[in-house]
Amino acid sequence: MSCINTILETIQFLVLFIYYYFEAFILLFFPTHKNVAGEIVLITGAANGIGREIAIHFAPLGVKLVLWDIDEEGNKETIRLAKINGAKEMYAYRCDCSNRKEVYETADLVRQEVGDVTILVNDAAVPSVKYFIDTPNLDLERTMDVNIMAHFWTCKAFLPAMIARNHGHLISISSGAGLVGVTKVSDYSASKFAVVGFLESIAFELQATGKKGVKTTIVFLSYVKTQFTGRLKIK
């Protein structure tokens, strides 16, 4: 029986795999544009870099912006820039996304003060620019906590409401280093590979349970110059 189940699950995986790649091929030539007006968009790592640019991009689209970061001053600057670009309703919270307890507590505040998040953008990440053998143990743990464990906690916090309504969107920022290993970023690369595996698995789970109204997107970026300790970091 277990052998039959394995075969059936393999067939199911292959069918879904082919379907999604065919769908992606069609959308490449006939893209659709999503109307996000009225959505509640939460962005982690919103105080600078890519997170700030994402907030500015959403600003004129009629969404409620929720900004999470440990950098409160940076969040204030993101709010200022988003306002200039047309944002009407914004909320900023100090939250260390690597801290499960803090994520859950802040998520409760967001639900009380703003509502259920319908678009979750997991952008927060820390870089690593050392050979693996030279990287301190605490740095390795910090990389995994921020770059992948935070995705677990935020999705645990906000995905149930999306599933209940069959409406929502999970967006995770990965990297070219999430597709191929890169020198001096072994822990970073591992965390970004994990992001891909995690969100792809969630996508299959949503498909299998009939929750087609909850979408997932993985964004792969290359080298991006940001204000992170004055260095070039990979996003």
pLDDT in tens, the chain (235 residues): 678 888 888 888 788 778 877 877 787 777 777 789 999 999 999 999 999 999 999 999 999 999 999 999 999 999 999 999 999 999 999 999 999 999 999 999 999 999 999 999 999 999 888 999 999 999 999 999 999 999 999 999 999 999 999 999 999 999 988 888 989 999 999 999 999 999 999 999 999 999 999 999 999 987 666 554 333 333 3
Q: What is the pTM of this model?
A: 0.84
pLDDT of residue 231: 35
CB atoms within 10 A of CB 61: 17
Does the annotation count 223 as an active-site position? no
pLDDT of residue 5: 81
Distances (CA, A) of 102 to 69, 171, 201, 217: 12, 21, 25, 25
pLDDT of residue 228: 47
CA distance 211 to 199: 15
CA distance 36 to 1: 46
Q: Which of these, 97, 54, 87, 81, lies nearest to 219 by C-alpha position?
A: 54
Distances (CA, A) of 119 to 65, 67, 176: 10, 12, 23
pLDDT of residue 224: 65
Annotated active-site residue in 91, 93, 131, 188: 188
